[in-house]
Amino acid sequence: MVATETRTRTGQRVTLLAMCLGLFLAQVDTTAVNLALPAVGRELRGGLGALPWVMDAYNLAFAALLLTGGTLGDRLGRRRMYRYGITAFLAGSLACAAAPTLGALIAGRVLQGAGAALAIPQSLAILSVAFPGRAERNRAMAAWSTVTGVAFAAGPTLGGLLVDRLGWASIFWVNLPIGLAALLLTRAAPESADPRARPVDLAGQVCAAVGLGAVTYAVTDGLRGSALVPWVVGVACLVAFVLVERRRAEPMLPLGLLRGRLATAALVAFGMTFGMYGMFMLISLDLQGERGMSAMASGLALMPLAVVITFGSPLTGRLVTRFGPRPAMTWGMALMGSGLVAYALLGGDAPVPALCTVFGVIGVGLALNTGPVVGVAVAAVAPERAGLAGGIANLARMTGSTLGVAVMGAVLAAGTRGAGFGHGLRWALLVGAAVELTGAAVAYRGLRRP
């Protein structure tokens, strides 16, 4: 009996480690690449209009395929789909590391995003099966959530160190040993599937992917030329997506769920990542391109943000337990928006210590908001739909990051052509701040009633 319990606990720990490694890969990649953008632009000859696609290719594929990835796991086996997803992510990393052109790099980023969309939805479901007891499952979920915050915060610093010492391709090479370890350890994870799983919504998936991709292209390139055709295609496909989802008995995205607190959580998640991912891209271009700082120095300048998120996220849980999610989410979004306003007002000539203080304030806002957003989404629906609600929150988060990079990058490019980089940077930051502060208002109003 003791030997059996020991083997079970060992298997649970190995499974948790495998899920956390996969999550770390997907999350850290969304922020680490920012520090490589100036080097990528120099070596692969990409301008301000093209570089945002290095970020958005990944975010777009991740967002567009996220819900379908969860459905495939439910139908075909979650461990199997997790392993397929990690394998695709590693193949994309190889393609990125060896990319001879910017187009090849962007194609590799699409494959990485598709792999992440297939793997990440399975991790929580696998942990739910591996940890059947409520207390142990909560502890496993807490560890999983901690990895999310640590990876998000550590990405810029890790990316700066790798780019400065080993070149931009090292950001992708380093994924290989981590991903291979995750694949090896996943052998200990239990296989599971849902016999009542929803069918794959192929029509909805195609409409969502084409619509979001066309709108992102229209936003990114719209300020540089005619974007009428992609706007028409994007809007038409998104309208078609809504019509398809309303008519299906088992839609990919049940639109009826998007009300009340779940809608609030989705909107706040969208606003949070809109400003933050756009900001990370701007910081890299500002500190390295305009100030001439190394990638490593740029990563170290972001250390206050990383430290605050790492140590502040656990404290947020206690605050939410005592006061509820409304104060944390409202103040979190307000602090992020205020930090972006401060960065815009300080301008490109501000001393680095002042910027570090601003980044610390933004980190407080992220720490206050990241965990409660998902918690509110999951608590807003019946327990059997908690996984879907979490997927909707993550979909909103990735859609926000995609459009944030596109919109803020387009504003930067347009402003830079007119009056220099500093002018474009200021307006791009103010656009991000407006979205963040709107998110604070949404949280304040939408979470008034329990």
State the pTM of this model.
0.84
pLDDT of residue 66: 84
Residue 163 pLDDT more than 80?
yes
Average predicted confidence (pLDDT) for the chain? 83
- Could you tell me how many helices (H) and strands (E) the chain has, helices first? 17, 0
pLDDT of residue 134: 67
Indicate the range of 17-21, 26-30, 342-346, 425-429 predicted with least confidence: 26-30
Higher local confidence (pLDDT), 275 or 198: 275
The contacts of residue 395 (CB under 8 Å, 6+ apart) are 63, 66, 67, 253, 266
Three-state SS at 301: helix
Mean pLDDT, residues 397-403: 87
CA 7 to mean position of chain CA atoms: 35
Higher local confidence (pLDDT), 385 or 367: 367
Tokens of 84: 């397929």
Mean pLDDT, residues 206-212: 89
pLDDT of residue 401: 87
Tokens of 444: 């304040």
What H or E segment, with its residue span, contains residue 123?
helix 102-130
Q: Are 279 and 432 in contact (CB under 8 A)?
A: yes
What is the rounded CA–CA span in Å between residue 13 and residue 378? Answer: 25
pLDDT of residue 239: 92
Mean pLDDT, residues 14-43: 83
* Residues 258-271 pLDDT 10s: 788 888 889 999 99
pLDDT of residue 40: 84
Indicate the range of 19-23, 246-250, 378-382, 434-438 predicted with least confidence: 378-382
Mean pLDDT, residues 186-190: 84
Q: How far apart are the first and last CA of the chain?
A: 45
Residue 319 pLDDT more than 60?
yes
Residue 162 pLDDT more than 80?
yes
Amino acid present at 238: L
Q: List the one residue out of 394, 342, 418, 438 whose CA is nearest residue 63.
A: 394
φ, ψ of residue 167 in degrees (nearest 5): 95, 160
What is the rounded CA–CA span in Å between residue 270 and residue 396? Answer: 5
Residue 2 pLDDT more than 70?
no
* Residues 102-160 pLDDT 10s: 889 999 999 999 999 888 888 877 877 787 776 776 677 667 767 776 777 677 778 77
Residue 39 pLDDT more than 80?
yes
The contacts of residue 361 (CB under 8 Å, 6+ apart) are 335, 338, 339, 342
Tokens of 250: 């088992």
The contacts of residue 113 (CB under 8 Å, 6+ apart) are 57, 58, 59, 60, 61, 62, 65, 92
Residue 89 pLDDT more than 90?
yes
Mean pLDDT, residues 78-93: 92
pLDDT of residue 226: 58
Q: List the one residue out of 56, 58, 101 whose CA is nearest residue 220.
A: 56
Higher local confidence (pLDDT), 78 or 449: 78
Higher local confidence (pLDDT), 434 or 395: 434
**DSSP conformational letter for 288:** I
pLDDT of residue 222: 62
Indicate the range of 96-105, 285-294, 329-338 predicted with least confidence: 285-294
